Amino acid sequence: MNYKLWWCYDLIEVIKMMKWIKTLVIFLFASMFLIFSGCTPQEKSDNNGDRYKAVIDFQYESISIGYNAQALVVKQNGLYGAYIKQGDSYELKVPVRYLRIQFDSGNGYLFAYSENNKIEIYTPEGNRLTDQTYQQVLSMSEKDNSVIVTTDGENWGILSLDGNWILEPKYQTQIVPLHDGTYIVETKDGSDWVNETGKSLLPTDKNICGVTKDSVASYIKVDVEQNGNSYRAIIGKDGNYVVPPIYIDVLIAKDEMGNYYFVGSSKDGIKTLYDKEGKILFHQNCSFIKPMGDSLFRISQNDKVGLVSQSGETILPIEYDDITVQKEFAVVLDKSDHTYLLFDLKQNRFSDERYDQITCFQNAPDVAVVTTDKKVGFVTADHSVTIAPSYDNYYNYYSNDYGMFLVQKNGKWGFIDRNNNTKLGFEYSHATYFNEKGYAYLAKDGKAGIITADGSEVVPFVFDAPEEEQPLSILMNGDANIAVVWKDGKCGCIEIVK
């Protein structure tokens, strides 16, 4: 081949190699820049799309978040439907055609009410449980895995959450589930205590003539005929008496810790307190005994009340107008000026201060919320925190993980610590407390966003603040982080992915 032609080929190859080397140098330079600037090629950039993703577009009047965010109930043109979580996304599985949709308590099922007042049951996957409709549906506890239903409004049954009957709908009134696989039912022959097959569990060796609906699991309150007289008693699961049939009435009650007690009332006015094993704790000549707090009892006598332990030891004497036990506090009412005094459970009064109202955080039993002249403050049971009433409002949730109260002052929300120091300033028109993942949903200057406890923005303040009657909504527990957001008067949903 011609020498000049060979030379041209070599030149072309050299040019190609130089272009390849140039490309390599640019790539290496860019990679080093990313590394030394604190990023890697795989890391997400700091833009909104990487912090959260849209779950539902802005097209609805309202959105409600269901159990563990498995279902999102939406409202459009006055009717309701539901999106169901399908993997990493949501799909409209329950059509928007119902008058309302009710969440089941803990099982993830949905009760959808149609225009003819019939109820359809949907599974957590968004499928109809059965083809049948029901006139009434009563949700049961998570552990029951069943619902109480009636198809005609007259005959009641128990339907399992796989769509099969546990008890056929043949009972006259609402069935009372005892959450241990047994039920109190009403038949044409009277009341009965039955198992899942409908078989009576009442002992036949006792003159039992009825069962009351205030029975509870393992403790059945019965009417007993003896020598021409009627008495009340408690029988256990073994059919034996826990409280004997010697009382005109027996009260079943439990304290805040879930401990069951029984109060037998005699004709002479003497009240006898039993524990769940049938042991007598004490007798008291009084009009009422009510369990409160943890193994404490309010005693009523001559229009005055006191507080005693389960051994009968006096905690507060019977001289007050009213007493309630709220977690770790005793709240005493003085009817003369309708104010409240605050005691701990060791008979210690916190101060001479009188309050207009005293409540406690459900999840923080050691913190009391005190109100005076419509101002709110906080007190702890160990007397270590006393924040005088000075705030306009408070958010009814508190966590020791963050040690902050969400309070309102001059129309704006902010966070304070247990020493009354401002941690996040009073600049928010709407606010929620931090959820399990540490996110708080807030709104300011007409825009809403989501932050962490140190004030860092997770979702920037780019969404519209809701109207006053539409509170911010974010899932407060579970693994998902779903928030309802507004834009131009319509609702959508986002999920935090960062």
Of the pLDDT bands very low, low, confident and very high (cuts 50, 70, 90), residue 143 is: low
Mean pLDDT within 53-80: 93
Of the pLDDT bands very low, low, confident and very high (cuts 50, 70, 90), residue 488 is: very high
User: What's residue 42's pLDDT?
Assistant: 30
Mean pLDDT within 160-188: 89
Higher pLDDT, 469 or 395: 395
Mean pLDDT within 88-103: 95
At 13-62, the pLDDT tens digits run 534 444 444 544 444 444 444 334 333 333 333 445 578 999 999 999 99
User: What's residue 128's pLDDT?
Assistant: 97
Q: How far apart are CA 131 and CA 94, in angstroms?
A: 14
Q: pTM score, two decimals?
A: 0.79
Mean pLDDT within 285-310: 93
397, pLDDT greater than 70: yes
Q: Which two tokens stand for residue 305?
A: 């009340």
Of the pLDDT bands very low, low, confident and very high (cuts 50, 70, 90), residue 141 is: low
Of the pLDDT bands very low, low, confident and very high (cuts 50, 70, 90), residue 71 is: very high
User: What's residue 142's pLDDT?
Assistant: 60
Percent of the chain clearing pLDDT 90 (strictly above): 65
State whether residue 277 is helix, strand or coil.
coil
Q: Write the DSSP string, 396-418.
A: S--BTTTTEEEEEETTEEEEEET
Provide CB contacts within 8 A for 467, sequence distance 6+: none
Query: How much is the mean pLDDT over the chain?
Result: 86
At 335-349, the pLDDT tens digits run 999 999 999 888 888
Q: How far apart are CA 458 and CA 461, in angstroms?
A: 9
Of the pLDDT bands very low, low, confident and very high (cuts 50, 70, 90), residue 364 is: confident
User: What's residue 7's pLDDT?
Assistant: 37
User: What's residue 88's pLDDT?
Assistant: 85
User: What's residue 469's pLDDT?
Assistant: 65
Q: Write the DSSP string, 221-284.
A: EEEEEETTEEEEEEE-TTS-EEEEEEESEEEEEE-TT--EEEEEE-TTSEEEEEETTS-EEEEE
Of the pLDDT bands very low, low, confident and very high (cuts 50, 70, 90), residue 498 is: low
At 448-470, the pLDDT tens digits run 999 999 899 999 999 999 877 67
Q: What distances in angstroms separate CA 218 from CA 20, 108, 173, 181, 224, one per listed residue?
A: 82, 27, 22, 10, 18
